[in-house]
């Protein structure tokens, strides 16, 4: 079979559309949103109207019927303009609703999934806890069966979109006697009197709103349990693996944005009568950045292609995320160095981009956790 490394005309059309939208509609919102640390909610409706919230889902389920390649193209283009917006988009279009699409009843899909595709409802995904970020199996939030529903108690930490969400998937244990893998998901409509959500102040992706959640004896009705009572762990793991490829595409977009800003600057800035890019030290930095980005790009899109073929395994997902996220950190740090003092100034985007790249060497599983997964696939204990 011949290898074909080109994107289809349909994929190129998606890229052009999203690039235009991101430049025309998202870019003007960035400075104010980042300054105030407030997500511009109107974006969800606009994304919904363009079909950008249901990219990965079949048309029969209300989605746009595109594939993971398209999803990654969209992420890359959004992240070039603003990672915070792209993070909120990612938490919503993937983490918050993919499990409902995979495991939800027709009623749950009608009530939560479909309004999420149009941007009428915003979702969040509550898995991480104060004692269980890297180690999902340390999860302690409890769900106790009561007449007509469940009572949830526990806490969730660093949950994207929590302060603006209309509903949240909440991971909890229904029975401590079951195995450590018996983690269930509940779809919780917000506000809920048992949920206290505190917005956190962040250094990275400032306008993507993030919450700490205290859950105190919160009642949720029976029809809010997603999938089996004994847990939806495989769905959670599949969701995380696929989204690692997704966020790698976000990292690629940030790396590209930093590189583009640095090469523009290297071309415009004269020192001692010479473009700084013509100094070998700077030219070589740019060369390394360009090569790193190219390598990350093909790994990301190969991972996306594997998702579409149904052949992605968790080790490959971790390799894709590890390489792309670490590339974005390296490239954006070099971009700051190339800009010199200007790299530290808010007038230029590279400082923000570098702060934002740090999100994905932590969120969705740290680089150390990705290395553990890869090492285990090589037969080592890690």
Q: Which residues bind ligand FAD (CB under 6 A)?
A: 91, 95, 125-128, 133-134, 158-160, 202, 205, 210, 359, 362-366, 368-369, 372
State the nearest-atom distance from the C-beta of 304 to ligand FAD, in Å.
Answer: 21
State the nearest-atom distance from the C-beta of 362 to ligand FAD, in Å.
Answer: 5
Q: How far apart are CA 50 and CA 64, in angstroms?
A: 9
Nearest CB to ligand FAD, comparing residues 110 and 368 = 368
Q: 202: burial class by Cβ within 10 Å (0-12, 13-18, 19+)? A: middle
Nearest CB to ligand FAD, comparing residues 126 and 253 = 126
Nearest CB to ligand FAD, comparing residues 125 and 186 = 125
Task: Give the H/E segment covering residue 232.
Answer: none
Q: Which residues are catalytic?
A: 364
State the nearest-atom distance from the C-beta of 96 to ligand FAD, in Å.
Answer: 8
Residue 283: other Cβ atoms inside 10 A: 14
State the nearest-atom distance from the C-beta of 268 to ligand FAD, in Å.
Answer: 33
The CA-based angle 247-326-258, given to 5 degrees, is: 80
Pairing status of strand 167-172 against strand 123-126:
parallel
Whether residue 246 contacts residue 191, with contact meaning beta carbons closer than 8 Å, is answered with no
Nearest CB to ligand FAD, comparing residues 162 and 289 = 162
Nearby residues of 105 by Cβ (< 8 Å), 6 or more positions away: 223
Structure tokens at 359: 């999100």
- Helix 68-81 and helix 83-90, axial crossing angle in degrees, nearest 10: 150
């Amino acid at each position: 079979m011949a290898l074909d490394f080109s994107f289809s005309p349909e994929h190129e059309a998606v890229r052009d559309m999203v690039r235009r939208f991101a430049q025309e509609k998202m870019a003007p919102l960035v400075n104010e949103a980042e300054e105030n640390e407030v997500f511009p909610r109107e974006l969800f409706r606009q994304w919904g109207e363009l079909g950008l919230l249901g990219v990965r889902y079949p048309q029969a389920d209300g989605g746009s019927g595109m594939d993971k390649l398209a999803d990654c193209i969209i992420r890359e283009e959004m992240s070039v303009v603003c990672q915070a917006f792209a993070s909120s988009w990612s938490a919503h279009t993937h983490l918050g609703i993919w499990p409902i699409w995979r495991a939800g009843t027709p009623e749950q899909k009608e009530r939560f999934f479909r309004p999420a595709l149009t941007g009428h409802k915003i979702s969040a995904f509550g898995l991480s806890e104060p004692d269980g970020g890297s180690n999902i199996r340390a999860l302690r939030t409890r769900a106790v069966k009561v007449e007509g529903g469940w009572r949830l108690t526990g806490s969730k930490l660093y949950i994207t979109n929590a302060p603006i969400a209309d509903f949240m998937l909440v991971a909890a244990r229904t029975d401590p006697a079951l195995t450590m893998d018996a983690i269930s998901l509940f779809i919780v409509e917000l506000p809920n009197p048992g949920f206290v959500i505190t917005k956190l102040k962040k250094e990275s992706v400032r306008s993507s709103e993030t919450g700490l959640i205290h859950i105190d004896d919160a009642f949720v009705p029976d029809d809010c349990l997603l999938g089996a009572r004994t847990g939806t762990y495989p769905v959670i793991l599949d969701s995380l693996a696929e989204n690692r490829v997704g966020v790698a595409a976000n990292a690629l977009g940030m790396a590209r944005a930093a590189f583009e800003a640095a090469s523009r600057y290297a071309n415009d800035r004269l020192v001692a009568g010479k473009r700084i890019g013509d100094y070998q030290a700077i030219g070589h930095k740019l060369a390394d950045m360009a090569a790193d980005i190219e390598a990350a790009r093909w790994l990301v899109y190969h991972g996306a292609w594997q998702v579409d073929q149904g052949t992605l395994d968790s080790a490959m997902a971790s390799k894709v995320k590890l390489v792309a996220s670490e590339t974005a950190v390296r490239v954006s740090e070099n971009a700051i160095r190339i800009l010199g003092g200007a790299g530290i100034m808010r007038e230029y985007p590279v400082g923000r981009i570098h702060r934002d790249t740090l999100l994905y060497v932590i969120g969705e599983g740290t680089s150390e956790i990705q290395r553990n997964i890869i090492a285990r696939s090589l037969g080592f204990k890690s």
